[in-house]
Structure 1
């Protein structure tokens, strides 16, 4: 039937595999965009200053353009594959990974994201301090040594060693003076 020896069933299986991969990539793209939008909304949601909000929107717009460029790259590579070019499946993965990195950089470089991150770190540090204080209070109530108790004992030992060295130096001077006489 054909001179090339190509089996139409193989071609159909090949096209079906690429269609499945393409649809999977599109689905992953949509999921990544949803996650990205949620991340962005969290980052700029609390921005009260108009400049921060405007910058956040611009960061999102840049990230959106990055995602759209990746979609175009995917479509181009898919076309190349359908036209017979040998396209490695890892290339599709790399496009999405690089795009995700670039898009998140676009959002994370905004003042709104920095502000949100700073507030979150501050909240975590405050919660950690409260947990440390509660733990120390509980340990003290139970009669156990706390971190501050151990630090205090260590400070006292260092002071005692310093004083001991002072006494040893004075004693050495007294002995030297007695030997000289």
Structure 2
């Protein structure tokens, strides 16, 4: 009885861990696909890019379904008494996640959506910089623009100082040569 209880307990723990891993994987997949869909909506790719993106998503879905089948088979093997490690089950999900993401990420639609996302982020960063400058200026603090201007003026002053020093050196040489 103890052996069957141990097996039952191990099976329950394995099933619980597998369920948690599948939930996390599905949540990750869902979050990824949601962000991808939002990026796709905002960039409105060309029709051929959209078709290619849907094909990539379809291939990714097939990868996930193959992984689910593999997990079901290995779970059945474990229920039949075969030694199935949690690492093996985890590796099935990790490998299929990598393959599924690759199927989607290799499409031109994904590249276009990422390009749009990067452009939007750069525009947002520029707006944030402008707001920071305005806020600092309104509070009487020096801004990055002010510091850049001071730096440019210092460089110009150093250039002029160097030119004056060269002229002074020539005048002193002339005086020394003329005085002999």
TM bin, normalised by shorter chain, reads 0.7 to 0.9
Displacement of 1:74 in angstroms is 1.9
Instruction: For 1:8-47, list aligned pairs within 5 A.
Output: 8-46=4-42, 47=44
Match of 1:165 in 2: 162
Distance 2:139 2:25 in 1: 55
Displacement of 1:57 in angstroms is 0.5
Q: Greater relative contact order: 1 or 2 (C-alpha under 8 angstroms, separation 6 or more)?
A: 2
SS of 1:7's equivalent in the other structure is: helix
Match of 1:100 in 2: 97
Displacement of 1:151 in angstroms is 0.7
Distance 2:140 2:2 in 1: 83
In structure 2, the gaps of 5 or more residues are: none
For this pair of structures, how many residues does the alignment match?
Answer: 177
Distance 1:144 1:39 in 2: 39
Change (3 A) 1:127 1:21: closer
Match of 2:151 in 1: 154
Displacement of 1:96 in angstroms is 1.8
Deviates more, 1:92-101 or 1:17-26: 17-26
1:123 corresponds to which of 108, 120, 124: 120
Structure-1-length-normalised TM-score: 0.79
Displacement of 1:111 in angstroms is 2.1
Structure-2-length-normalised TM-score: 0.79
Match of 2:87 in 1: 90
Deviates more, 1:130-139 or 1:79-88: 79-88
In structure 1, the gaps of 5 or more residues are: none
Change (3 A) 1:167 1:44: same
CA RMSD across the alignment: 2.7
Deviates more, 1:115-124 or 1:27-36: 27-36
Distance 2:6 2:144 in 1: 70
Distance 2:32 2:98 in 1: 11
